[in-house]
Structure 1
Amino acid sequence: MRSRTLPPIAVTAPVRPRTPLVALLTVLVAACAVLLGGAGSAEAAGYRYWSFWAGNGENWEYATQGPSLLRPDDGSVQGFRFAVSEDSGEAAQPRRAPDFGAICAGTPAKDGAKRVALVIDPGTAADAPGGEEPPAPRTACAQVAPDASSAEALAVVAKPLRYDGSAMLCAISGYPKTGCGEQVSGDAGRAEASSPEAAASPAKTTGEGGGADGGPSAGLLVGLGAILLLGVAAVVQARRRR
């Protein structure tokens, strides 16, 4: 009678149950990660400024050139929105549609000139500098020379404009009265910068759990250090018992 060969049996090392010490260290590491992650998300820096947009017929697209460089074609729609934004990918768009026909309906075409529809959105009270109230959003149709820039078209319908030394657009129709692209820190920084008390020094603010430069506060770092020291002490104590 032929014997049957049995398949080999895989032998694996026994899985040791997780000791209370390992579990403790896992909890400590997770706690540190949560605290650091929360501090980072609470301190996302933003800037208060006029963003510049171009309408594509249906939607808004963040402009790749500044208003002083871009020379729009006849029938173009340009948008300006004042808000606190972290970057161009998160910037708030104008709250009016880029509808050239509706905006320039009352401005007939003229030889030797072009029409540029403009949407000017000063934003909300939450984005306003301290002590200022944003005016209502509005639209305008600028009729300018064929080679005029977006900044020149804006100047026709929204004076006075204010620029800083680097030619950054700071104010449209006098709004805001002060400031130009200043940095704020997250929602807490926005609330502080919107208050009259903080209007005099909007450059740096302190958010919950963060320092003046937007990083974790000294108290948070001390707390994390204490947690890690407790973990190290637990390891040393467990080794001495073995």
Structure 2
Amino acid sequence: MRRASGTAALLLLAGAVLAVLGAGTAQAAGYRYWSFWEGDGGKSWTYATQGPSVVRPDDGAVQGFRFSVSEDSQDSAQPRRAPDFGAVCADTPAKDGRKRIALVIDPGTAADAPDGETPPALRTACAQVAPDASAAEALASVAKPLRYDDSAMLCAISGYPRAGCGEQTDGSSGAAPEQSQDQAKSEDQDRAADDGQGGGPSAGVLTGVGAVLALGVAAVLRARRRR
């Protein structure tokens, strides 16, 4: 009977530890939104540090938009087409007093789509706009209708998705991603610093585990004293 009591205490301890660790993991949440990318002059993408309404690209630039679910800017999915200005704007001749911006618009995969919606096909477009036009203005010239929320966050391109804007995929009511992507990166770095290693359990979770272990050891010792 005493041995059974000790075993039961250890089993309860193990279950409690798993519950605490599980709670820490469940805190992570993804967001469904359009991310904004800039071609780096080669064949790769760089996550933009400013929103498309702020960026005013030069003639010959490549801008990308990708709809996906991601936890933060560090794991956001890139457009699935290389930023090749020559390929995108090959059939659009240059004009005096205008600039050409190559756009890659990637609505993502079915796994990223909101319930009841099917993502349209990835497409490219060459926007020919005024020299001082922003990336948002270049996008609007080739991919209407666009939809924005009250904070001017880009919610839909060419009407996709029909509803929603930066909502959490787990259904909770957390805040949507920030419009300013440099602020989003700063917040990601702050969270990583708070977590110590950025990817493991937080200090709060480890403290909880320590408390549970202490209670479990005390229970086992009490059981042994009764023998």
Q: Same fold (TM over 0.5)?
A: yes
Contact 1:49 1:82 in 2 (8 A): yes
Aligned counterpart in structure 1 of residue 103 of structure 2, from 107, 118, 124: 118
**Matched residues in 2 for 1:69 and 1:184: separation?**
28
**Matched residues in 2 for 1:134 and 1:203: separation?**
24
Partner of 1:55 in structure 2?
Answer: 39
Contact 1:77 1:100 in 2 (8 A): yes
How far did residue 34 of structure 1 move? 4.0
**Matched residues in 2 for 1:140 and 1:23: separation?**
67
Q: Matches of residues 1-242 of structure 1 in structure 2 within 5 Å?
A: 32-56=16-40, 57-185=42-170, 203=173, 232-241=218-227
Aligned residues, how many?
186
- Secondary structure of 2:33's aligned partner: strand
**Matched residues in 2 for 1:236 and 1:153: separation?**
72
**Matched residues in 2 for 1:49 and 1:173: separation?**
14
Contact 1:28 1:231 in 2 (8 A): no
Contact 2:17 2:212 in 1 (8 A): no
**Matched residues in 1 for 2:61 and 2:26: separation?**
39
**Matched residues in 1 for 2:119 and 2:145: separation?**
15
**Matched residues in 2 for 1:131 and 1:228: separation?**
49
**Matched residues in 1 for 2:223 and 2:87: separation?**
77
Partner of 2:189 in structure 1?
Answer: none
**Matched residues in 2 for 1:234 and 1:106: separation?**
77
**Matched residues in 1 for 2:220 and 2:13: separation?**
14
The TM-score normalised by the length of structure 2 is 0.73
The TM-score normalised by the length of structure 1 is 0.68
Between the aligned residues of both structures, percent identity stands at: 69
> Of the two structures, which has the highest relative contact order with CA contacts closer than 8 Å and spacing of 6 or more?
2
How far did residue 58 of structure 1 move? 1.6
How far did residue 236 of structure 1 move? 1.2
Contact 1:51 1:82 in 2 (8 A): yes
Structure 1: which 5+ runs fail to align? Answer: 1-20, 190-201, 205-224
Structure 2: which 5+ runs fail to align? Answer: 175-210
Relative to 1, partners in 2 of residues 1:26 and 1:229: Cα closer, same or farther, differing over 3 Å? Answer: closer
- Secondary structure of 2:35's aligned partner: strand
**Matched residues in 2 for 1:203 and 1:236: separation?**
44
Contact 1:28 1:228 in 2 (8 A): no
Relative to 1, partners in 2 of residues 1:34 and 1:43: Cα closer, same or farther, differing over 3 Å? Answer: same
CA-to-aligned-CA distance 1:72-101 (integer Å, 9 cap, x gap): 000000000001110000001100110000
Amino acid at match of 2:94: A
Alignment RMSD: 2.9
Amino acid at match of 2:219: A
**Matched residues in 2 for 1:43 and 1:226: separation?**
20
- Secondary structure of 1:157's aligned partner: coil
**Runs of 4+ off more than 6 Å:** 21-28, 225-230
Relative to 1, partners in 2 of residues 1:60 and 1:25: Cα closer, same or farther, differing over 3 Å? Answer: farther
Contact 1:28 1:227 in 2 (8 A): no
Amino acid at match of 1:158: A
How far did residue 234 of structure 1 move? 2.6
How far did residue 26 of structure 1 move? 8.0
